[in-house]
Structure formats: structure tokens, C-alpha cells
A and B are shown apart, each in its own frame.
Chain A
Amino acid sequence: MKHNTKIAACAMALTAAISLPAMAVDESNESWYTQGEQATKQAMKNARKAAKISKRKAKNIILFVGDGMGVSTVTAARIYDGQLKGKTGEENRLFFETLPYQAMAKTYNTNQQTPDSAGTMTAMMTGMKSKAGFISAGQSLTRADCSDMSGNILTTALEHAETIGMSTGIVSTARLTHATPASTYAHVPERNFEDDRDASKFSDKILGCKDIASQLIDMKNRYGNGLEVALGGGRKNFIQRIDGADPENGGKGEREDGRDLTAEWLASNPNSAYVWNQAGFDAVNTSLTDHLLGLFNMSHMEYEEDRAEDTGGEPSLSEMTGKAIEVLEKNEKGFFLHVESGRIDHAHHAGNAQRALMDTVEFANAVQKAYEMTDPEETLIIVTADHSHVFTIAGYPTRGNPILGKVVGNDNEGNPNDAPQLAKDDMPYTTLGYTNGLGFADLAVGGDTRYGEPNAAGVRTDLTAVDTEGQGFHQEAMVPLGSETHAAEDVAIYASGPGSSMFQGTVEQNVIFHVMNKAGRLSKRSGLPAVK
């Protein structure tokens, strides 16, 4: 693509970040003044540029969603990323924080103050808020009841794009049938109806809908020629429940309807490919491939922390993003791509901040990859979260204190102490923590392992001899719950490209669809109704 333009634009967007002092020791009164002045000049340039390009059509639209990536997660990940690079961290910026336009989104579902991923992604993809657990289905329905869907099938941005001949793709580290990616292509008031076998969990009323995996494969029967790219986890939902169905380990899938959806993808799409491991992924020739399906794990893909250990080998989120764009950008009519970092949310649920932050850093890498591969003059990039988590950054740690560490404060003169701050119970405490969940654990491997251990929330642990910066550390929590929960505060929206200047102030989350719709002239060109 237009590389020189891109590099120039990228450099402009990064000006403020690059001008910031790398280390606290390089900072001076003057440098803070200059940095602030430069950021203001940049904002003025952005405002002028916004007026110029606001009427331009977005050829390509990329919607990045960090699942559960609330503002506190962005802040902590920014510091973590900076500290991984040997800096103090606070002054760092994740790539998407350098995008020129920003707003805040109100995330509530129509029936829940604190939302879930299904209802929030429905809002972003259809322009209409709905209930928790609903996948692009209208709020007047009852959960798991598909007996009459009429008037409640909410058209998604991806479906508009597919209808007008754009290429479309989804990328996720979660199962492709999980709530967030599912809301781009499926319609069902029950997020857990991921494959046909799941129907037995619900009443027969669910049978008025198709399972989510089959809706992905059958999309070409409804909109355009179907998805061009689908890369992520959830292989089990696409293959049969017979021995040997899984190419990686010979195990069984979930489908009992006799359908092997991976075979159907290959049979029904010209120039198609199906891959399930790193080797197959690396071997894909994108110039010869028009429809790419990659299912790299039976369930969710690995956390970025654990990815190198995966048996079959998994690509990173940024690798998948790059490959997806290579396939999609061949279409002169442009493309719509959704990229989700699905496991930030899971690591938080397990109370393991390190994995949440590591996945957020990789998410930022994926955004940068997309930005660098596309022309910012013609590509609308939106980066946001579906909801937040009860994840806090607390205490008064000194500048540059390890974000995963115990709070080491400053003395009366404002200089760092040489030992952790003690709480009123005479025990040290960490900067990062959770309001609820399972609480402290220090395990050989962190993450989902936490669910097999007793709940330790609501009590304090003496962390004096504990390495809180290790990957197996799980932060303390206050209210004991079976898992840490989502939070209701607003999430940030970062954007660049045509239409991005429409993000202003605090908006309802469904506004995200309308910005994409306006910038891409999607519904205007597709002629599809908003609701069917």
C-alpha cells in the first residue's frame, strides 16, 4: 500500500510520544512545558485535518476491541509496556493512545447496569443497545427464545459491508463463536448457543435460531459471499463429535449434526484455505487465498504469556491481524475487519493482572501493525473496549515503581523509600488489585489455574516474601466471588482516519456503529434495513 504516506502520517501521530522523555532522569521543567505545547499544537493540527477529511469516505474500517480493557487496564498496560522496555513506564504510550481522536463510551446493556460482552458488542456492531447475553438480537426478545425473531434481527456493520461487496474478516484470540466476534455475523438471543449440541442446554425455543458456528459458515447464503477471513480459536464448534475429528490431537469436536464446517468452508469458497497451527498459518499464500479460516485451538487461544508453549503452535494477535489485512486488502472496494483481544477479560476474571497486561500490550502491537499496513487517509481505525473490570491502581507508589510490584512510596522529602509501604495491618500491599474475585494466589502457572484453588478474597495475605511481579501471582481482592467481575464505568474510544473526528465527548456505545456507518456509507449503499 501507500507506504510513504503511511510512514509520514504515522510519524506525525507519534510526534508527541517520541518527544516525551524516555526516562524520568531526562525530564526537566522545560521538557514538560515543551511536551505539553507540542501536544496542543498536534491537537490543533488534528482539528484542522478533521475538518478536511470529515467528508471523506472510509474505504476500510477496522474495529479493534480489547475485551475487558477498561481505562485502568490501559493505564497499567502502558506502564508495564514501558517498564518492559527499561523505562519508568508512566510516560509511555501504547500505540493506540497516539491515535488523534478519543471519546468515552457508556457501556450499560438495556437490562444491566454492568454489561456483558454480547450486549455491548451488539451495540457497537448494530447501532442498537440490547440485553446482556444477546448476539445482535433485539432487546424485546426473551433470552434463549427464538420462536419469533421477526423485528429483532439487528443488521451488523459487517453484514452491510459484505452486502456492498467489501471484503470482511474477524480475528480473535477467543473462540470465534464467543460473544464479541459472534456479534459481527450471528443473530441469537443466547451467547452460549455456539454449536448445535448446545441446543440441549435450552428449551426447544432456541431451535428457531441456528447455532453461532453454522451462522458463520452459512453467512454467504445471507450476505454477499460470506466472510473472507476468520482467524481465532474455537475449533471444536466447527468439527464433528467423532473420534479423530480434530487434526491437532485426534479428539472429538462438538457438532452432532454431521457437519464438518471446516470442510464446508473449503468446499464452498473458491481459493480457500483452512489452517489450524502456526506452520499452516505461515504457509498461507495470501495472494492466492481469498477465503482464509484459521482455528488454532479447540477452545480459546493461549494467553500471550503462554503462547510459545502451545503444542500446535499459535500465531500472535498481531500476526493474525497482518495476515487478515493481506487477504482483505486485495479487494478494491475495501474491507471491514474486526479484531478482538479476547483474553484480557479472561485473565482479569482469574485475577491475574500480568496476563491481562501482556495481552493488552500485544493488542496494542496488533493496532500498530494494522495502522502501518493501511493508508490512514482511507482507513478508519477504532480501538475500544466492550466493558471494564474491577481492576484498580492504588496507593502512592513512587515514580517508576514496578506496576506489578508492592507499593514503595516516597519519604517526606519526596524521594523513594527503600522498602515497601506497610498497611495498617503491618503488611505490604500491591499497586494493582481487584475489588472482587478469588483473591490472592501465587501459583506455578497463573491465569485460569486460579479456579482450582480456594477463594482467598476478603482476607489480607502477608506478601513480604512473595514475588508479586511473577506470572503466577494473582492479586488480592476484597469481595469473595467465584471470579472477578466486569465493571460499569465508561471505556475509552481511540480512533484515526476518515470519520474518526466524529468521536467526541461521552457517547452511548452504539454510536460506534453510527460512526462506522457514516464514514463507510454502509447502510446507504447496502440498502439493508437496520432491523429485520
Chain B
Amino acid sequence: MKFITGRNLFLVSALLMTSIGHADITDVSCVYETTEQDIKETEGHSHSHHEKKASQWFFWRTKKTVEVSNAEQSFGEKWILSDKNDVFYQALYHDKKFVMDFQPTDLKILGKQTNWAMRSSLLPKSLLKQLKQKENGKFNQYDAVRYQGKVAGVEYQVDWIPELKLPARIKKMGMNKTVLTELKEIYPLNKTPHKPQLSEKYDDMDYADIGDNESHPVVSQLQKNTGIGYFHQH
């Protein structure tokens, strides 16, 4: 992603396929790219950068759902907000046509209770409050604000689009690693070329039932290879 800065103005250029209307900016479909780069500290405190690992992922949002998926759409995750503000979580194994359902009680015992605002905007509200507002700019037609600062030993630089309540760019530097997440594409949900996989007809299982299903072909395969649990890392 390219930056043009000057006189308190930065411009983020991105591949914006379709203009987002102002009527409903909640329902969006995005493509993000996350690049990870290890930093090795050498003698004399100089830093050497190692090979970058870049991956694209999809993000779909409505008022009551947030879904993400890897670029291959083989694995995704979905959070569902209930009328009473409880959050349900599903691990979507698209390649196996299988869904693992997590009830709010499961998320509670796992210590993974979801902050809906954070999930739907990809950042905890508290993070921006801890950073310093630096300059205003543009991300395509949207006003954007750059925030910067250090939290818990990690240096953050966030380009935030208030109108969409989404970041255009998040750069995290710390723990011998730089992680850069950039918004590459954004569409109204009803006009997106990137449709989420339909999972309603998949085989499903409650997380609490894994113990009874040790021989379930998908469960046993998952446990051997990728593991079962609450995965989200973004």
C-alpha cells in the first residue's frame, strides 16, 4: 500500500471496486491483506528483516454478523450477534463442509467472550483511545485519521475510517515482528464479487460434543492436523 503524505494530509490508494453508498455502511465486503515480517535484532542493535509472509483474507459484515475467510475460502469464522447482544461463534471448515458451533457459554469458559464492537471493526475501541491522533487524510472518498503510539510495548500506526468504522491500515511493530494489515478492496455487501460460502447445510457439531465424537471423521482429522478451537488472530 502506498502513502502520500504532506501538510497533515495522507492519501491511501486502494483498489476500490464499487462506491459504498452512505445509506448502509454496515453491510460491507472487504479484502484485507496481512503481511508478517520477522525482525532479527543483531549486534549493535541494528535490525535485519526476514522474508515477508503475505496473505489475503475476506471480511463480510452486517449489523448482526461478521464473517472472515482465508483467500482459498477453505476455512472461515463467523460471529453472530443475538437480539440480546450475546455472541455466538462458528468455525467454518468449508473444505470439509463442517461447522463447529460455539455457544456463548463455551466462549465464556474458553475466555473468548467476544467484544462485538471490536469484532465488527477489527480493532478494540480502547486501542484508538490509547494512541495519539496524528493527521487527517483520505482513503479513496472517505475521510481517514491516522493514529500512532505505543501500547504494551507494541508500536501501532492505524489509518482509521470513522464513517465505515474500519481500519484502512494497521501496522504493528514489536515482539521482533512487524505485522501490516491493509484494506485492499471494499464493496457494498449486496454488490460484492466475493460471496461468502453458504454453510447452512454443512454438518455441524456443538463444541461441547467433541468428546462424544472422537471417531467422527472430520473431528478426528481436525484434531490430528489443525486442531479445534477458537482461532481468530487478526
Contact = CB atoms under 8 A, between A and B. Distances in A.
B32 interface: no
A418 interface: no
A410 interface: no
A250 B81 CA distance: 9
A255 interface: no
Interface size class of B (residues with CB under 8 A): 20 to 34
B214 interface: yes
A32 interface: no
Contacts of A345: 211-212
B213 to A, nearest CB: 8
Q: How large is the interface on A (under 10, 10 to 19, 20 to 34, 35 or more residues)?
A: 35 or more
Contacts of B82: 243, 246, 249-251
A200 B203 CA distance: 8
A481 B110 contact: no
A244 B80 CA distance: 12
B86 interface: yes
Contact of B229 (A244, A306, A452): A452
B208 A300 contact: yes
Interface in A321-376: 345-346, 348-350
A465 interface: no
B211 A454 contact: no
Given A250-B86, A482-B219, A448 B109 contact: yes
A246 to B, nearest CB: 7
B208 A455 contact: no
B86 A201 contact: no
B211 A445 contact: no
A297 interface: yes
B2 interface: no
B104 A483 contact: no
A309 B210 contact: no
B84 interface: yes
B228 to A, nearest CB: 5
Contact of B109 (A117, A445, A454): A445
Contact of B230 (A349, A444, A452, A483): A452
Given A250-B82, A250-B84, A482-B220, A451 B105 contact: no
Interface string B183-205: 00000000000000000010100
Interface string A216-242: 000000000000000000000000000
Interface in B153-208: 201, 203, 206-208
A257 interface: no
B208 A243 contact: no
B205 to A, nearest CB: 9
B83 A445 contact: no
A453 B223 CA distance: 10
Interface of A: 116-117, 200-201, 243-244, 246, 248-252, 297-300, 302, 306, 309-311, 345-346, 348-350, 444-445, 447-449, 451-455, 481-485
Interface of B: 64, 80, 82-84, 86, 88, 103-106, 108-111, 201, 203, 206-214, 219-220, 223-224, 227-230
27 contacts: A243-B64, A249-B83, A249-B86, A250-B82, A250-B83, A251-B80, A297-B105, A299-B206, A299-B209, A300-B208, A309-B108, A311-B104, A345-B212, A346-B208, A346-B211, A349-B210, A349-B211, A448-B110, A452-B227, A452-B229, A452-B230, A453-B229, A482-B210, A483-B210, A483-B211, A483-B212, A484-B211
